[in-house]
Amino acid sequence: MRIGLLVAAALLLAMPAGAQTATPAPNSVAPANAAEGDWVLAPKDYANTRFSALDQITRDNVKDLKLAWSFSTGVNRGQEAAPIVAEQTMFVVTPYPNILYALDLTQGGALKWKYEPRPAPAAQGVACCDVVNRGAAYDQGRVFINTLDNHTVAVDAKTGKEIWKVKLGDINQGETMTMAPMVVNGLVLVGNSGGEMGVRGWIQALDAATGTVKWKAYNTGPDSEVLIGPEFTPFYEQDRGKDLGVTTWPPEAWKIGGGTVWGWISYDPALDLIYHGTANPGPWNPEQRPGDNKWTAGIFARDPQTGQARWFYQWAPHDLHDYDGINENVLVDLEIDGQMRKLLLRPERTGYVYVMDRITGEVLSATPFAAVNSSKGVDLKTGRLIENEEKHPVLGKVIRDICPAAPGAKDWNPSAWSPLTKLLYIPHNNLCMDWESVETSYIAGTPYVGANVKMYFGPGGHGGEFTAWDPIAKKERWTIRERFPVWSGTVATAGGVVFYGTMEGWFKAVDAESGQVLWQQRLGSGIIGQPVTYLAPDGKQYVAILSGVGGWAGAIVAADLDARDATAALGFVNAMSELPNHTTKGGTLYVFALP
């Protein structure tokens, strides 16, 4: 059997002995135009499962994986992108200058064409945390990418010719774009970055054929601009009221309040809702922005055709520690207390795995998956995070040993869900920090932070973990400790194997049930990219990963930062001072297959 189809019969065939049966959610499939074995969106499917039904590579034979081919991107900065596959072609987008490569899978990855958008060089100077890009999207013969200088571009998948290019933001205001687009029913959904520059966050929908903006929703400000109307029915009382995006801020502060959308977007076709997170409020210093700071550090459910909000939930009201809210929302249907529920799974930067009803926005459970002392849990009655007052930032005072650190227990790096094991595979951090709030002033296009931070490894003395989490039992099944934060994404497969990478450069395959490392290969640079697996024209299953250390966690290497400056890279350098001893810069795509 070469391909395990996403139906119950094939899942049973692919299932290892003793595994639990499971039927995937009906929306856990790629868009209808995607060929079987392709990977057309960075998160694989609308539900953000990053699960592949391919099953040639198994826990028994993965030890035989060999390098099939590789490709140098020519850009030695942080490679966070997921390669995508369609039309017998792999498409890879680089960090700045955001070159899009098309590699011919019928010719062993030979270069077919490249598209160079030539973003403004000045965009590099306002990028918060490296000049990264998280991938492209494919739909109906077009490839869509975002550029660091705030353009969304559509390129002809066969020729590499530009179809349209639309400017959506302004680098002079500190805006950039680093996220991977999501394509839903002819709309390209994109958002901005720049919360550390005091930008005002938004999400926009563009017509996939023309690039015309169909709607734009801000995440701070009056209801009319946030697209909150009569259909908005949040579950919790604190999210109800008129113009909370204004009244939960000091006067005019919402105009420079952050709440950007640089992470992941999910879509439920049955409910016809998209789900997207909103990032941290600005500045980091919370004393300069009293109030809940709506609608930052939370999640919106919206109508994809109109942008109108249906519900909202805030992970961290009045975010104290830069915990953001942009992580992936994994959509699954599971039985809870004898009832099938439409759920949203979310490993959040606050350190909790949230299990939510994705119809209403109700939090059903929130359980720590990492070291947490900045809060004491989540009140399921009110939905609010229970803060630990001992860890509150105070102006002019150093508050020590705050866990998790500002990148959270898990940053943007996406988890994967397997409907076979019913486990969520979470690459994450084990970081704590010291924090000193300071006064800051807003100047357009310059940092608007207001905090001095120093990060370090958390309990146990290691920086990261790769964890299998059971969301029903609300507990860890197994975990692998890693020297540095696990800043890569992951992919789960029907062959019972899960793949991820380490910042030292090890690409690993582990048993999805037990966590045993079955295979590992050292690559040329640290791994912060997103692994994918696909079926090539030769009928074989391949696994691809970009190697190239960088991003916020790897900035010390990618940007040649001085390890003696503990507060560099917003405090991350202190935790990563030894990383230059373990890896170097890089920018190479590696593709593996069985002999």
Question: Catalytic amino acids?
Answer: 196, 280, 322
Cβ contact 321:406 at 8 Å:
yes
What is residue 556's DSSP assignment? H
What SS3 state is found at 417?
Answer: strand
Q: Which amino acid is at 80?
A: E
Instruction: Give the sheet arrangement for strand 137-139, strand by strand.
Output: 137-139, 142-146, 151-156, 162-167
Cβ contact 129:82 at 8 Å:
no
Alpha-carbon dihedral 31, 33, 39, 44, rounded to 10 degrees: 0
Cβ contact 249:257 at 8 Å:
yes
CA–CA gap between residue 324 and residue 267 (Å, rounded): 21
Q: Which two tokens stand for residue 550?
A: 């960088």
Q: How many CB atoms lie within 10 A of CB 62?
A: 21
Cβ contact 176:149 at 8 Å:
yes
CA–CA gap between residue 440 and residue 449 (Å, rounded): 7
341 forms beta bridges with: 334
CA distances from 179 to 43, 147, 267, 429 (A): 12, 9, 16, 21
Pairing state of beta strands 162-167 and 89-93?
unpaired
What is residue 439's DSSP assignment? -
The 8 Å CB, 24+ separation contacts for 573-576 are: 574/454, 574/455, 574/456, 575/405, 575/431, 575/455, 575/456, 575/457, 575/463, 575/485, 576/463, 576/484
Please spell the DSSP secondary structure of 369-391, one letter per residue.
-S---SEEEE-TTT--EEE-GGG
Q: Which two tokens stand for residue 517?
A: 């490392």
What SS3 state is found at 9?
Answer: helix
Q: Which two tokens stand for residue 142?
A: 């077009």
Cβ contact 262:296 at 8 Å:
no
129: nearest Cα among 84, 66, 194, 34: 194
